């Protein structure tokens, strides 16, 4: 598995819904038509919809959580090291909550964002077993090139929706992903049996909880998520707190991003230097901090900065830090996709420029260390990697000998050499 994605043999071109060659199964052809309305099979990638904190909260609250031991006993137990099998549990919208199984295969699958926290509905990635099973509300097997996204076509998968045992509403999906073995004829009945066992377990758990409820009542606790700051790929950052999102001004975006990146705090003179490029701007900075606190007072009072040193009063989830977390987990493709030009790409504040350079350098070194050639090319085709000869050469070295991408890489390297001479 892995390697270059294979162009789907049923489409004349990425924008065409006209089958060529062997006719696809009807349900696959219909799924492709639905996807082609909004997606490009050459570029589509599963979005990362949950941060780590949000993922933990979704797992805790999801109705499938009580049945997780049954799922692991029936499916995950045999999907151990060298099994070449992954078992995924998704919610009713196709967002993966758990992906377990062969650890080597898990690392490979992260290259196509098949990982916890990613969206795999049909609207996200087109035809795939989890998304199409949810769209059709029945079990399905998707063989290799039947996948809509070219990057997913080296894989195969089988998935079955899970229903609420009382209302019969869809509450999730069970999926097995791997090579051609996971679409063997016996696999679909096996997962259907596992789903039936899961639904029985959910009903038993619910009846048991109902029987115990009069004996122990506890007040419903309000679930609050950590405030977040989004600065990647945008010139004006947004803060989200208590379910409300507020856009910041360009200057306030710079200040909040620097404070979130430095949770222990920054002194006034140093922060003035990082924002205004001079250390004698502390009076200007203090006036701006007053305006920032005023702007946050109604929208996110818990994030009003404290002084001496300037710092945020509580932990805030910064999307730039999430990129570093993805790198540390080896999810290189996800980190490249999330980067989107870095934090506040239009800002020339020295501290923001330094932050962009620091994290971009970390991404670059991580990719050069162990990334697959398609991930290297994804970085090479960003402003950060376009002129990086070492990245392009590493991608060329990793591409298969007969890959059609080699010609384009060689041509780009020749242009770089011309410009440097």
Across all residues in the chain, what is the average pLDDT?
Answer: 86
pLDDT in tens, 375-400: 899 899 998 999 999 999 999 998 88
* pLDDT band of 331, cuts 50, 70, 90: confident
CA distance linking residue 74 with residue 138, whole number of Å: 20
63/159 Cα distance (integer angstroms) = 18
- Which helix (H) or strand (E) segment is 174 a member of? strand 170-178
Q: Which CATH number fits domain 26-213: 1.20.140.10, 1.10.3720.10, 3.40.50.970, 3.30.450.40?
A: 3.30.450.40
Q: Is pLDDT of 364 > 90?
A: yes
pLDDT at 223 over 90: no
What residues are paired with 99 via a beta bridge?
Answer: 88
Which pLDDT score is estimated for 131?
94
Start-end of CATH 1.10.10.10 domains in the chain? 228-317
Indicate the helix (H) or strand (E) that contains 327. helix 319-328
- Residues 6 or more apart whose CB falls under 8 angstroms from that of 401 comprise none
**C-alpha to C-alpha distance for 131 and 129, rounded to whole angstroms:** 6
Cα–Cα dist 322/316, whole Å: 11
Per-residue pLDDT band for 242 (boundaries 50, 70, 90) equals: confident
A 10 A CB-CB count for 135 gives 19
Task: Please give the pLDDT value at position 79.
Answer: 59
Provide the 3-class DSSP secondary structure of residue 93: coil
- R_g of the chain, CA atoms, integer Å: 24
pLDDT of residue 12: 39
Confidence of residue 297 (pLDDT cuts 50, 70, 90): confident
Neighbours of 297 (CB within 10 A): 11
Instruction: Collapse the DSSP code of 6 into the 3-class scheme (helix H, G, I; strand E, B; otherwise coil) and give the result.
Output: coil
Enter the tokens of residue 298: 């109604």
> Is residue 336 over pLDDT 80?
yes
Predicted pLDDT of residue 53: 85
Q: For position 23, what pLDDT does the model report?
A: 61
- Measured CA to CA in angstroms, residue 273 lies from 245, 255, 264, 347, 351 at distances of 29, 11, 17, 14, 8
What are residue 162's DSSP bridge partners?
172
Q: What is the CATH number of domain 228-317?
A: 1.10.10.10
The answer for 187, left when phi > 0, alpha when psi is -120 to 50, beta otherwise, is alpha
Residues of the chain with CATH 3.30.450.40: 26-213
């Amino acid at each position: 598995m892995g390697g270059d994605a294979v162009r789907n043999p049923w489409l004349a071109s990425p924008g065409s819904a006209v089958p060529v060659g062997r006719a696809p199964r009807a349900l696959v052809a219909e799924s492709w038509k639905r996807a082609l309305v909004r997606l490009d099979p050459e570029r589509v990638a599963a979005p990362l919809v949950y941060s780590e904190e949000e993922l933990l909260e979704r797992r805790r609250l999801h109705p499938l959580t009580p049945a997780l031991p049954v799922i692991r006993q029936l499916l995950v137990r045999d999907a151990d090291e060298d099994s070449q099998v992954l078992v995924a549990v998704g919610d009713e919208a196709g967002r993966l909550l758990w992906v377990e199984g062969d650890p080597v295969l898990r690392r490979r699958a992260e290259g196509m964002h098949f990982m916890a926290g990613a969206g795999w509905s049909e609207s996200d990635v087109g035809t795939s077993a989890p998304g199409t099973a949810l769209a059709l509300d029945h079990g399905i097997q998707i063989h290799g090139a039947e996948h809509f996204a070219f990057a997913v076509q080296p894989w195969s998968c089988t998935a079955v929706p899970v229903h609420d045992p009382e209302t019969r509403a869809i509450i999730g999906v069970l999926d097995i992903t791997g090579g051609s073995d996971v679409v063997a004829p016996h696999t679909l009945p096996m997962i259907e049996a596992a789903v039936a066992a899961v639904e029985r377990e959910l009903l038993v758990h619910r009846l048991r909880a109902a029987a115990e409820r009069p004996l122990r009542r506890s007040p419903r606790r309000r679930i609050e998520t950590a405030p977040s700051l989004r600065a990647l790929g945008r010139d004006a950052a947004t803060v989200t707190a208590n379910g409300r999102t507020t856009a910041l001004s360009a200057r306030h975006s710079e200040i909040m991003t620097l404070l979130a990146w430095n949770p222990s705090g920054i002194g006034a003179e140093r922060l003035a230097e990082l924002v205004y490029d001079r250390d004698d701007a502390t009076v200007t900075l203090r006036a701006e901090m007053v305006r920032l606190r005023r702007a946050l007072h109604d929208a996110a009072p818990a994030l009003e900065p404290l002084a001496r040193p300037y710092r945020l009063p509580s932990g805030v989830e910064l999307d730039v830090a999430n990129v570093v977390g993805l790198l540390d987990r080896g999810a290189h493709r996800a980190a490249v996709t999330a980067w989107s030009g870095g934090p506040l790409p239009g800002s020339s504040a020295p501290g923001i420029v330094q932050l962009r350079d620091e994290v971009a350098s970390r991404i670059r070194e991580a990719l050069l260390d162990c990334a697959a050639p398609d991930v290297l090319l994804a970085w090479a085709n960003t402003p950060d990697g376009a002129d990086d000869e070492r990245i392009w050469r590493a991608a060329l070295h990793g591409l298969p000998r007969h890959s059609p991408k080699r010609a384009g890489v060689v041509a780009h390297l020749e242009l770089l050499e011309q410009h440097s001479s």
